[in-house]
Amino acid sequence: MSQQTQGDIRPSPIAGQWYPGNAGELAATVDKYLANAPETSIPGEIVGLVVPHAGYVYSGRIAAHAFRLVQGMVFDRVVVISPMHQYAYAPVLTTAHQLYGTPLGTIQVDHDLLTTLNKNIRVTPLHQDSEHSLEIELPFLQRALKGSFVLVPLMLRDQSYDIVSKLGILLADCIRESGTRTLLVASSDLSHHYPELQAKEFDRIMLRAVEAFDPQSVLDVEEQGRAFACGRAAIATALITARALGADGVKLVGYGTSADAGGDRSSVVGYGAAAIYKSP
């Protein structure tokens, strides 16, 4: 569930297009994806998730594989880290609004943590951004998590290791000092517009780097042209943050392509879901 708080709300540019715009239909759609996702055992405490961010008809099934792992759990805060697909003049961005709005309600933005983070790394606020890759995860969080949570939205244009390593460590420091239970969510699709067999090989290499808990390799394999992920910096940041918070493992829990929804197998987008965890 989300917090219901009055204030300056970021209007959704994708409700009714990327996912249902009607609250009842959206809740039923997300709940069905969650119910149909397989039960997966994670050998430790979940610290973060890696999830795709296409329209629900394409990637909702795979995203649910990860979000089911936290269904019914309580988190005080959720940090969603995504790419910024549109042009932006700054390496790290966030919303200038007080709340994110979806058809399921509003979610309070944790501007206190953002202010603390901004003391050490510039986090540029935007009004009415059109970034889909962060918002697309919110209805799943609203339906899966129990109780209310505050949101730390971070959108990355800079894909360099220097930025993600600095951001990851600073973010972990902020989370640790706050003493509140926090879930990390990295939003990323995988390869784009390759024939399915080729896409699966690219995606296998990228997901192997993710499962190896190797943020440098997540960035390197794209630099080398061996694999692709539009949210590679988001994944790398989440891994660095999680490692600093004590996480020590990653488990892949779902994979598919856009062709699974009846699409063209000659040109697909890859989707992966994973859990980042701390062993007992």
Report d(CA 210, CA 174) in Å as an integer. 24
What percent of the chain has pLDDT above 70? Answer: 98
What percent of the chain has pLDDT above 90? Answer: 95
Q: Which is it for strands 192-194 and 268-278: parallel, antiparallel or unpaired? A: antiparallel
Secondary structure, 3-state, 22-68? CHHHHHHHHHHHHHHCCCCCCCCEEEEEEECCCCHHHHHHHHHHHHH
* Closest-CA residue to 131 (of 11, 50, 211): 11
Domains of the chain, CATH where assigned: 9-278 (3.40.830.10)
The answer to whether 129 and 155 have CB atoms below 8 angstroms apart is yes
The CA-based dihedral angle spanning residues 245, 181, 122, 54, taken in that order and rounded to the nearest 10 degrees = 100
Question: Does residue 4 register a pLDDT over 60?
Answer: no
Question: Does residue 243 register a pLDDT over 60?
Answer: yes
How confident is the model over 198-204, as a mean pLDDT? Answer: 98
How confident is the model over 255-275, as a mean pLDDT? Answer: 95
**Which of 3-7, 71-75, 175-179, 216-220 shows the lowest mean pLDDT across its residues?**
3-7
Give per-residue pLDDT as tens, 69-123. 999 999 999 999 999 998 888 999 999 999 999 999 999 999 999 999 999 999 9
How confident is the model over 236-253, as a mean pLDDT? Answer: 98
197 exposure class (CB count in 10 Å sphere: 0-12, 13-18, 19+): exposed
How confident is the model over 194-214, as a mean pLDDT? Answer: 98
Confidence band for 1, pLDDT divided at 50, 70 and 90? very low
Return the amino acid letter for 101. G
Return the pLDDT at 6: 52
Q: At what angle do helices 196-211 and 215-223 cross, to 10 degrees?
A: 150
DSSP 146: S
List CB contacts of 71: < 8 A, sequence separation 6 or more. Answer: 34, 144, 145
